[in-house]
């Protein structure tokens, strides 16, 4: 644990085992965030070039449409719709060729989504991709029908070639607790079905699910959305490369980095953090892979945070790892450096506000604390780090990490620690 002045001008109020390297879980995202704000700038945007591989006549593209992924972490369904709408604004209604997805900006990720904890359908296990569409996840909705007999099943984005069971029966007097398990869902690459029922007393249910075939998700989502928008495709959606010398028809810009880290940190989105991590490798080290990204972060840490050789062990950008190690003192220095930096407002605004939003919304009461949470409870990790405003007017850096099989038991202690710092007189 560490509680110290944000400006670094006072003796710490609390310091306990601050030099011990610990697994910080998702608190790792603070390192990725501060480095990206420093190296890329808060106004940085990801660009997805779109190419027409032929001429357009009477609404027909005589050739391929190329989408070149550059790591955009926020290409969700509604933004993919906007991208395809811009294609249609170029006069393209029918493609007499293929839609080609160029993912070469990032090296292929070979890790299986189930590798970390055996839960491949959990969206938090989605792997990064140069052309990441909707976090490789579909959102299922279950809406009770007025007749009281069934719930209508919906899915966004629409996935081409995937048969979705249109409705499930309602279970009378069903308890809403554990409603997902009661559906007895069966997820296959070409069919999603349910052998169970939906509790009649529940409101609309929303279930984000990672697609069982993550590599094929983008192709199905793009094909399905293009068809839903009235577009026609003579060929197929497939992986490939943009031909040399072809000029983009336009580049589709992401939200700014400042907006991306807001969503990433408030809700601890792992795959967004991995996209950011690999982007640092791509932009600063010219290779979109984990090894280059780690080198970029190591060099940045030595030049901006600590040049004594005391560098954290960073396995990836999200903290979904058993190998990452950082001490409370190192995190304290990171947060103090960031507090004195030009992009401090963007960093603080991205952190969950205790008792108000994000992963800190269940804190017992609002305290004026902006804190990043971390949790790998199956692996015995819980962590908390960020800034706390004291009643005295002083601002503090707070870091607390527990690595222990009963790490979850530390959460009430963390809550009490935050309140103790906030009540400083």
Q: Using one digit for the tens of pLDDT, what is the confidence trace for 157-198?
A: 999 999 999 999 999 877 889 999 999 999 988 999 999 999
Half-sphere exposure of 305 (CA within 13 A, CB side): 25
Residue 56: its H or E element: strand 47-57
Q: Which two tokens stand for residue 10?
A: 């006072």
Residue-level pLDDT at 306 = 93
Per-residue CA distances from 148 to 152, 200, 352 (Å): 11, 7, 39
Q: Please state the rounded mean pLDDT for residues 387-392.
A: 94
Measured between alpha carbons, how far is 261 from 345 in angstroms, rounded to an integer?
12
pLDDT per residue as tens digits for the range 231-246: 999 999 999 999 999 9
Question: What integer best gives the mean pLDDT of the chain?
Answer: 95
Residue-level pLDDT at 147 = 83
Per-residue CA distances from 137 to 156, 207, 359 (Å): 9, 10, 20
* pTM recorded for the entire structure: 0.95
pLDDT at 310 over 90: no
Residue range 47-110+215-253, CATH number: 3.50.80.20
Measured between alpha carbons, how far is 325 from 198 in angstroms, rounded to an integer?
43
Contact 133, 220 (CB under 8 A): no
Rg (CA), the chain: 23
Q: Please state the rounded mean pLDDT for residues 79-96.
A: 98
pLDDT per residue as tens digits for the range 5-31: 999 888 999 999 999 999 999 999 999
Report helix, strand or coil for 133. coil
Domain(s) labelled CATH 3.50.80.20 in the chain stretch across: 47-110+215-253
CATH superfamily of domain region 2-44+256-422 = DD-peptidase/beta-lactamase superfamily (3.40.710.10)
Domain(s) labelled CATH 3.40.710.10 in the chain stretch across: 2-44+256-422
pLDDT at 279 over 90: yes
Report helix, strand or coil for 418. helix
**Location of structure tokens 């704000």:** 37
Output phi, psi for 350, to 5 deg: -85, -15
Identify any residues that bridge with 56 across adjacent strands, giving them in sequence order: 61
């Amino acid at each position: 644990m560490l509680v110290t002045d944000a400006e670094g001008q006072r003796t710490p109020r609390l310091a306990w085992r601050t030099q011990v390297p610990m697994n910080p879980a998702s608190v790792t995202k603070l390192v990725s965030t501060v480095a990206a704000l420093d190296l890329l700038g808060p106004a940085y945007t990801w660009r997805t070039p779109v190419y027409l591989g032929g001429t357009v006549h009477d609404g027909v593209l005589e050739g391929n449409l190329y989408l070149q992924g550059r790591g955009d972490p926020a290409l969700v369904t509604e933004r993919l719709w906007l991208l395809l709408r811009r294609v249609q604004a170029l006069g393209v209604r029918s493609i007499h060729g293929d839609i080609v997805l160029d993912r070469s900006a990032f090296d292929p990720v070979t890790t299986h989504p189930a590798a970390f904890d055996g839960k491949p359908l959990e969206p938090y296990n989605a792997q990064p991709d140069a052309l990441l569409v909707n976090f490789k996840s579909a959102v299922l909705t279950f809406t009770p029908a007025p007749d009281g007999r069934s719930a209508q099943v919906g899915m966004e984005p629409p996935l081409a070639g995937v048969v979705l069971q249109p409705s499930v029966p309602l279970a009378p007097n069903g308890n809403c607790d554990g409603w997902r398990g009661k559906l007895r869902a069966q997820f296959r690459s070409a069919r999603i079905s349910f052998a169970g029922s939906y509790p009649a007393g529940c409101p609309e249910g929303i279930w984000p699910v990672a697609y069982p075939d993550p590599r094929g998700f983008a192709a199905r989502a793009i094909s399905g959305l293009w068809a839903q928008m009235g577009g026609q495709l003579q060929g197929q959606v497939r992986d490939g490369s943009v031909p040399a010398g072809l000029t983009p028809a336009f580049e589709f810009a992401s939200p700014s980095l400042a907006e991306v880290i807001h969503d990433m940190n408030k809700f601890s989105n792992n795959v967004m953090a991995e996209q950011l991590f690999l982007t640092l490798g791509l932009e600063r080290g010219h290779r979109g892979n984990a090894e280059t990204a780690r080198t970029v972060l190591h060099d940045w840490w030595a030049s901006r945070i600590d040049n004594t050789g005391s560098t954290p062990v960073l396995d990836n950008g999200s903290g979904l790892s058993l190998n990452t190690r950082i001490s409370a003192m190192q995190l304290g220095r990171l947060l103090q450096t960031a507090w004195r930096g030009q992009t401090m407002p963007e960093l603080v605004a991205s952190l969950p506000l205790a008792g108000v939003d994000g992963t800190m919304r269940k804190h017992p009461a609002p305290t004026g604390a902006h804190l990043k949470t971390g949790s790998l409870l199956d692996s015995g990790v819980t962590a908390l780090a960020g800034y706390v405003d004291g009643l005295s007017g002083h601002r503090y850096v707070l870091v607390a990490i527990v690595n222990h099989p009963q790490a979850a038991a530390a959460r009430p202690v963390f809550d009490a620690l935050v309140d103790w710092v906030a009540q400083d007189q």
